[in-house]
A and B are shown apart, each in its own frame.
Chain A
Amino acid sequence: MRKGPSWFNVTSLVLGFAFLYLPIVLLVIYSFNESRLVTVWGGFSTKWYVELLSNQQLLDAAWVTVRVAFFSATLATVLGTLAAIVLARSGRFAGRTLFSGMVYAPLVMPEVILGLSLLLLFVAIDQARGFWTIMIAHTTFAMCYVAVVVQSRLAGFDRALEEAAQDLGCPPLRTFFSVTLPIILPGVIAGWMLAFTLSLDDLVIASFTTGPEATTLPMKIYSQVRLGVTPEINAVCTILVGLVTVIVITASIVTKRQEVLKERDMRLAEAQA
């Protein structure tokens, strides 16, 4: 029996990761390029990051994006959590299949269609397009992702906990806030982060539903790239990649640590008994 992985496995792994991450690595490397030409290496420099700070247009776009992502993620989390609770709890009710189908439809709906239909709606009701229309559009499609994440968390939820709370004199609504919500909170937070990320990098739907005064970062980057790629864009993207990486790694370390601590506690408790 051979112990190590075979050559075939190693090669597949390297090729797979290269395919996924080489472009991002290149992007990060060229953000530190001295030269204005994206494809020619002209030495190490951080000047594009400095220049970025004075690019008011890009900074404005970033600020719009963050605000849209924050509000739409929050709203989507509230609505998605409610939908998940209904789907996980209410058992069978008239129209359940239709309801769950409609909640999950945006998962598989092409973004172009989603964006176009929302645009038509906003035009039909004569709604001026801008920040709020993007936010509403992002909420509608991010909501279903939140619903999926929260529903999976609710699947492992012991309903006896809610019954116990009510049995001890806690009215249903207060039970939700003092027992249910704290327990499903990790799922809710994960849903929020997913919704935030989805909104952050959406280009298609935002392009359809935006107006003249609201340009998100992906839209700004895309329009600038059409005029030619500048290392400035590379710098913005590197910052974004760095931000996302830090968030994801922190989140997974915290979760892992909690699990390890919990397991240790449980073993300790059983040993002492």
Chain B
Amino acid sequence: MAKKPIGPIRRDFAPWDDPQARPYIEFRNVTKKFGDFTAVDNLSLKIYEREFFALLGGSGCGKTTMMRMLAGFETPNAGEIFLDGQNLAGVPPHRRPVNMMFQSYALFPHMSVEANVAFGLKQEGMPKAEIAGRVEEMLSLVKLQDFAKRKPHQLSGGQRQRVALARSLAKKPKVLLLDEPLGALDRKLREETQFELTDLQQDLGMTFVIVTHDQEEAMTMADRIAVMDKGRIVQIATPSEIYEVPNSRFVADFIGDINLMECKVTARDGEMTKLHAPLFDCAIEVAQPVEAGIGDTVWFAIRPEKVRISFDEPEGPANRLSGEVWDIGYLGDVSIYHTHIAAEETVRATVANRSRTVERPMSWEDKVWLSWDRDAGVVLTQ
């Protein structure tokens, strides 16, 4: 498949910002309980046509239940689910125009690769010649033409994943659901497949809904991410918004690495907010209006890669800390400096390893300064 640049095509794609846009999939106040356990709690959600949407969360957060309700394997206790304007209540799984790629791939072990891919088409009553053509098309899409006659157990994990993908795409569904599709693959293969999936979704013009616990997977592929916790959606936003402007400590902590400091609001001046972090004895200035009164407790969050580390004292009275390097984590591409501030508090700063020298300018127990820009961090009130 020809590689296409993803950025330019998707640049203007943001139907969620358009109040006129009609959602393609809509959850309206959906609740699902298993006995006493509430898996999905009064949840509403809109997904738009051609969107690549990710449901992200830890285990037991309800993301898989959401997908299974959409596919028809679970029935909500309350609320409604709409697909393209049609209420899905009472529609059995085999009549829903969505297809799903299962986490375990769920390939039929007694059928060849070919028969697996053809299975859905046969149910439609598609003529034999047409089925053969479509199967070939799908197998070449996932580069498995030479494996048509094999049985699933004669394939490697990566190949099985491709068969599962081909099978779920064969009917050209309007919506494809992917349940942790890359979980069983090794890292290299997973990264490759992530980009292939995004390309595929672009080319076929389908709506993809993916369930994953892997934030990297969600960030690389999705147009929007819904971060879920305990049956509720904590934040729905684009990957960069989720990363740069998390709306709560949960999201900030869940996605990537972050330094959190408990602060008191000391001054509010239009676009500028001044904070004081008592544990760090640090004055902080943030270029962000905050919905909190003077003296309220808020949290200041800053990503390690946005913290500068230096021997020289930075200018200005605010956004700086002095400390002692306590631990250095070498990750190859970057190093993470754990710096002890004051008593027991630690701030992490990431530095890209631009040269190949093993000797780092900063070492354990060095006295250093940490600093950051006014727009580098965010204030969290939740």
Contacts and interface: CB of A to CB of B under 8 A. Distances in A.
Nearest to A163: B73
Nearest to B102: A160
Given A269-B153, A269-B159, A161 B94 contact: no
Contact of B167 (A163, A168, A179): A168
Interface in A231-273: 262, 265-266, 268-270, 272-273
B102 A262 contact: no
Interface stretch (B10-18, B117-125, B312-320): B117-125
Contacts of B155: 269
A187 to B, nearest CB: 13
A-B pairs with lowest CB-CB distance, top 10:
A273-B156, A168-B120, A169-B123, A160-B106, A164-B106, A166-B93, A265-B154, A166-B94, A182-B110, A160-B102
Q: Range of interface residues on chain B?
A: 20 to 34
A171 interface: yes
Contacts of B92: 166, 171-172
B58 interface: no
A74 B205 CA distance: 51
A265 B153 contact: yes
A265 B123 CA distance: 30
Most chain B Cβ neighbours within 10 Å, of A161, A183, A266, A269: A269
Contacts of B124: 169
Contact of A163 (B93, B153, B168): B93
B93 A167 contact: yes
B94 A171 contact: yes
B110 A266 contact: no
Contacts of A163: 71, 73, 93, 100, 102, 106
B104 A168 contact: no
B158 interface: yes
B157 interface: yes
A41 B102 CA distance: 69
Interface string B85-106: 0000000111110111011101
B154 A268 contact: yes
Contacts of B103: 160
27 contacts: A160-B102, A160-B103, A160-B106, A161-B108, A163-B71, A163-B100, A164-B102, A164-B167, A165-B108, A167-B71, A167-B98, A167-B100, A168-B94, A168-B120, A169-B94, A169-B95, A169-B120, A169-B123, A170-B123, A172-B92, A183-B109, A262-B153, A268-B154, A269-B153, A269-B156, A272-B156, A273-B158
